[in-house]
Structure 1
Amino acid sequence: MSALLQVAGLRANYGRVPILMGVTFAMEPGEYLGILGHNGMGKTTLMRTLMGALPATGGAVHYRGRNITALATHDRARLGLGLVPQGREIFPSLSVYENLRMGLVTAAKEDLSIIDAVLEDFPRLVRLLDRRGGALSGGEQQLLALARCLCTQPDLILLDEPTEGIQPSIIDEIIETLAGLKARKSLSMIIVEQNLDFITSLSDRVLSIQKGQISGTVAREDLLAGKIAMSCA
């Protein structure tokens, strides 16, 4: 089976400050890949660079065999990549339904039936469709951000720190929803997270990132035992 995503020697900077220092990994279609690391190790920068929101300064990204390293974000979205960003970045002044419609903007023609299909996996949002996004709880906003991403009908979702500031009951709901999507759809996902229970529950494989580089694969028994050797330096 050919890789869905291949990342080779990927580098990215913020101004003159290098953040990604040669990230290399590959993932298969249908895989849920976890990336674990402390703050400041380059996790969010990696997600933004994969989505094209931050330009790469070196290396290459291939998606389904195509070099997308220089593609704009909207072009990557049309190819099937979707980002659920850290901090959610929903539109606070728009209603829940209007936020979901924003997920249809990359399509050649707006198809509102896509929203109805997505909402089947997010029953909590159905009663909130007329409520402004900014009036939702943090957990509800995270569900909305995930549902909005799914409205783009992605093949690969980049999920960045989804449990940050979220109440435990909704974390469990997100795990259940994502596990259900994996079982029913041909969906792949990269999950950047520090919550060990969350990343262990969903990931087929977990990589460790340190100082802007993938430092290795984290053994599942270490994840289950909570024994993760990652440097904070």
Structure 2
Amino acid sequence: MTLQVRDIDTFYGTSHILHGVSLDIADRELCAVLGRNGAGKTTLLRSITGVNPPADGSILLDGIEIAHLKSHRRAWLGVSYVPQGREIIPDITVAENIYLALLGKGRKGNKVPTFVFDYFPALKLVINQKGGTLSGGQQQQLAIARAMVQEPKLLLMDEPTEGLQPSVVEEIEPIIKRIPSERNCAVLLVEQNLDFVRAITQKFAILETGRIVASGDIGELTSDVVRKHLAV
């Protein structure tokens, strides 16, 4: 089991956001976390990365307790994060954005790993452009590539299709689906696009006011479940 989250409680200041959340993700598994706005989805990811660590509970990565480690220690142990909004550094090149990600794992270098272009051939064409000049789709590809070069055990993605045109979503869908088996990692993504989720994931969990209210294999994400927990 790559990730085991057990009964975590997370706060923003005095606001209690996550209430006893538990979640398991197996090796090479792709799982989606769903929920209405404000349900606590991003807080869950931030709890796992250590940006907003839980006050109580346990987070095991390959059997190692990481719940109270600093973010950089979690990254060294194998947690990589594709944040909502991508957070590309705009004033440096695509290549330099990737080099910084490599430095984050203690690996110096001035060469982009070749597998990046196997997944994202379009990045090869813009490798010397500044990050801020890229389209939204290119920035999302770079954000994913930047996380992948860290060779994570667990890859977290926060709304990877947000703001992207349908044609771009169709391009990245098979790429994300390939990652767990080909890069030997588990993937946990927060997503609103149900068609996208159903197409690529094996499991789902739904958060509602900071609690898991439904979970299971993706085939169990029925219309009734969607109406009950996700309809606005």
Could you say which TM-score interval applies, normalised by the shorter chain?
Answer: over 0.9
**CA contact 1:138–1:165 (8 Å) conserved in 2:** yes
Cα deviation code 1:34-80 (max 9, x no counterpart): 11111100000110110001121111111111111111111111111
Shift of 1:91: 0.4
1:146-161 → structure 2 map (5 Å cutoff): 146-161=144-159
Shift of 1:114: 5.3
Find the counterpart in structure 2 of residue 230 from structure 1.
229
Cα deviation code 1:104-160 (max 9, x no counterpart): 012333144553222221101110111111111111111110000011111110011
**CA contact 1:20–1:42 (8 Å) conserved in 2:** yes
SS at match of 2:102: coil
SS at match of 1:18: strand
**Corresponding letter in the other structure for 1:5:** L
SS at match of 1:134: helix
**Corresponding letter in the other structure for 1:24:** S
Looking at structure 2, the residues matched to 177 and 226 of structure 1 have their Cα atoms a distance apart, in angstroms, of 30
Match 2:176 to one of 172, 175, 178: 178
Match 2:8 to one of 7, 10, 13: 10
Distance 1:136 1:113, change over 3 A: closer
Looking at structure 2, the residues matched to 184 and 52 of structure 1 have their Cα atoms a distance apart, in angstroms, of 26
Cα deviation code 1:182-208 (max 9, x no counterpart): 342312100110100111111111111
Find the counterpart in structure 1 of residue 57 from structure 2.
59
1:36-115 → structure 2 map (5 Å cutoff): 36-113=34-111, 115=113
**CA contact 2:8–2:54 (8 Å) conserved in 1:** yes
**CA contact 2:2–2:153 (8 Å) conserved in 1:** no
Deviates more, 1:158-167 or 1:178-187: 178-187
Gaps of 5+ in 1: none
Looking at structure 1, the residues matched to 120 and 224 of structure 2 have their Cα atoms a distance apart, in angstroms, of 30
Find the counterpart in structure 1 of residue 24 from structure 2.
26
The normalised TM-score by structure 1 is 0.92
SS at match of 1:71: coil
Looking at structure 2, the residues matched to 213 and 5 of structure 1 have their Cα atoms a distance apart, in angstroms, of 18
Looking at structure 2, the residues matched to 89 and 226 of structure 1 have their Cα atoms a distance apart, in angstroms, of 36
The normalised TM-score by structure 2 is 0.93
Distance 1:219 1:150, change over 3 A: closer
Looking at structure 1, the residues matched to 69 and 139 of structure 2 have their Cα atoms a distance apart, in angstroms, of 29
Gaps of 5+ in 2: none
Looking at structure 2, the residues matched to 176 and 10 of structure 1 have their Cα atoms a distance apart, in angstroms, of 32
**CA contact 1:101–1:115 (8 Å) conserved in 2:** no
Find the counterpart in structure 2 of residue 133 from structure 1.
131
SS at match of 2:229: coil
The number of equivalent residue pairs is 231
**Corresponding letter in the other structure for 2:229:** M
**Corresponding letter in the other structure for 2:9:** R
Identity value in percent: 36
Find the counterpart in structure 2 of residue 193 from structure 1.
191
SS at match of 2:103: coil
Looking at structure 2, the residues matched to 147 and 64 of structure 1 have their Cα atoms a distance apart, in angstroms, of 23
**Corresponding letter in the other structure for 2:107:** K
Distance 1:118 1:104, change over 3 A: same
SS at match of 2:119: coil
